[in-house]
């Protein structure tokens, strides 16, 4: 009987060891990558500063290049041409801004609907519920047109829901409740691969919420953005722009001072803050050293 208990204990320890090893391998195997061409402007919601919007206009190709604003995530039936940031883009000098909306994937699949996207240098997704963007545009000609904007060197941007939709894993994608982190919609547009993006993190005390996803999917990089703050993604790196902070969940810790002396939780519970001007390597999952 003692031998049986001994062997059972050894067996259970071996199973636990192998399981932890598989989790570690999963986390190491996945590489987080941005778009090969073009840029992303990903904003954590709230009031979007002119500095961020002007950067978007610049990356779109300048004030004369068409910009498409897609407010579908907000859940209204119709929108006017001043909806969301459209009016702000015009105030800042953008000369050709079109608000485009449907909640019907059949409409989103029609060439007449996608023509403004195919002519645009930039597409901006507004806030609301990110699953509405998936239901309206996922798998349609419109989604293919979003990718073509990047392929020709343009920019995709968005705030709040329009931030989360840009990741491969759709955080808060449940149709019933935005507090459910892993809901009935789990796939975003994937302009960045192997990532989960959250928003409003400090303004709404959401800084621990991404850990729910990363516990189940440790291969993902987690990025949380506070309001009025963006990451500008080009290739496999990003730079922080805006007034608050970006939180990074990469199973490590970084600090401007004394990080070797800090008493920290387990790696899968760690996160750290980046501020304006900080840069991050998505593929290597580490800070890009600041040039003094």
Which residues make Cβ contacts (< 8 Å) with residue 270, sequence separation at least 6? 249, 251, 252, 253, 264
Q: Is the pLDDT of residue 84 over 50?
A: yes
Q: Is the pLDDT of residue 81 over 70?
A: yes
Task: Check residue 17 and give its pLDDT.
Answer: 42
Task: Check residue 258 and give its pLDDT.
Answer: 86
Residue with tokens 């990558």: 33
For residues 206-224, average pLDDT? 98
Task: Check residue 291 and give its pLDDT.
Answer: 67
Asked if 59 and 155 touch (Cβ cutoff 8 Å), the reply is: yes
Q: Which of 27-36, 107-116, 123-132, 264-273 has the lowest mean pLDDT?
A: 27-36
Which residues make Cβ contacts (< 8 Å) with residue 131, sequence separation at least 6? 170, 173, 174, 175, 183, 184, 185
Which residues make Cβ contacts (< 8 Å) with residue 4, sequence separation at least 6? none
* Number of neighbouring beta carbons within 10 Å of residue 246: 26
Q: Could you tell me the two tokens for 238?
A: 């990003």
Task: Check residue 18 and give its pLDDT.
Answer: 41
Task: Check residue 29 and give its pLDDT.
Answer: 60
Q: Is the pLDDT of residue 267 over 70?
A: yes
Per DSSP, 284 falls in state: T
pLDDT digits (tens, 9 = 90+) for 53-71: 999 999 999 999 999 999 9
For residues 20-27, average pLDDT? 45
Q: Is the pLDDT of residue 5 over 70?
A: no
CA distance 273 to 261: 17
Could you give the percent of the chain with pLDDT greater than 90? 86
* Mean pLDDT estimate for the chain: 92
Task: Check residue 105 and give its pLDDT.
Answer: 98
285: region left, alpha or beta (phi > 0 left; psi from -120 to 50 alpha): left
141-151 vs 111-118: helix crossing angle, rounded to 10? 20
Q: Is the pLDDT of residue 221 over 60?
A: yes
For residues 4-27, average pLDDT? 45
Reported as a pLDDT band with limits 50, 70 and 90, residue 94 is: very high
Strand partners for 274? 246
Instruction: Tell how far CA 238 is from the center of its chain.
Output: 12
Task: Check residue 133 and give its pLDDT.
Answer: 98
Asked if 186 and 170 touch (Cβ cutoff 8 Å), the reply is: yes
pLDDT digits (tens, 9 = 90+) for 151-173: 999 999 999 999 999 999 999 99
Catalogue all structural domains in the chain, each as residue range(s) with its CATH number.
Answer: 31-288 (3.40.50.880)
Reported as a pLDDT band with limits 50, 70 and 90, residue 107 is: very high
């Amino acid at each position: 009987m003692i031998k049986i208990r001994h062997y059972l204990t050894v067996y259970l320890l071996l199973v636990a060891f192998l399981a932890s090893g598989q989790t570690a391998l999963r986390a190491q195997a996945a590489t987080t990558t941005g778009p090969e061409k073009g840029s992303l402007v990903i904003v954590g919601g709230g009031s979007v500063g002119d500095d961020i919007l002007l950067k978007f206009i610049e990356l779109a190709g300048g004030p004369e290049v068409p910009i498409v604003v897609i407010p579908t995530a907000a859940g209204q039936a119709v929108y006017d041409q001043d909806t969301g940031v459209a009016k702000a883009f015009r105030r800042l000098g953008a000369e050709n801004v079109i608000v485009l909306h449907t909640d019907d994937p059949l409409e989103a699949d029609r060439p007449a609907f996608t023509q403004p996207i195919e002519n645009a240098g930039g597409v901006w997704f507004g806030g609301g519920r990110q699953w509405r963007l998936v239901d309206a545009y996922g798998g349609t000609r419109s989604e293919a047109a979003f990718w073509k904007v990047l392929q020709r060197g343009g920019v995709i941007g968005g705030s709040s829901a329009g931030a989360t939709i840009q990741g491969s894993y759709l955080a808060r994608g449940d149709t019933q409740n935005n507090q459910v982190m892993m809901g009935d919609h789990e796939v975003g547009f994937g302009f960045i691969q192997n990532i989960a993006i959250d928003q409003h993190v400090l303004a709404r005390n959401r800084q621990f919420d991404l850990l729910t996803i990363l516990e189940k999917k440790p291969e993902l990089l987690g990025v949380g953005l506070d309001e009025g703050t963006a990451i500008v993604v080009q290739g496999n790196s990003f730079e922080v722009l805006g007034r608050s902070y970006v939180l990074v969940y990469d199973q490590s810790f970084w600090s401007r001072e004394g990080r070797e002396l800090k008493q920290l939780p387990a790696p899968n519970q760690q996160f750290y803050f980046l501020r304006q001007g900080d840069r991050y390597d998505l593929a290597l999952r580490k800070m890009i050293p600041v040039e003094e």
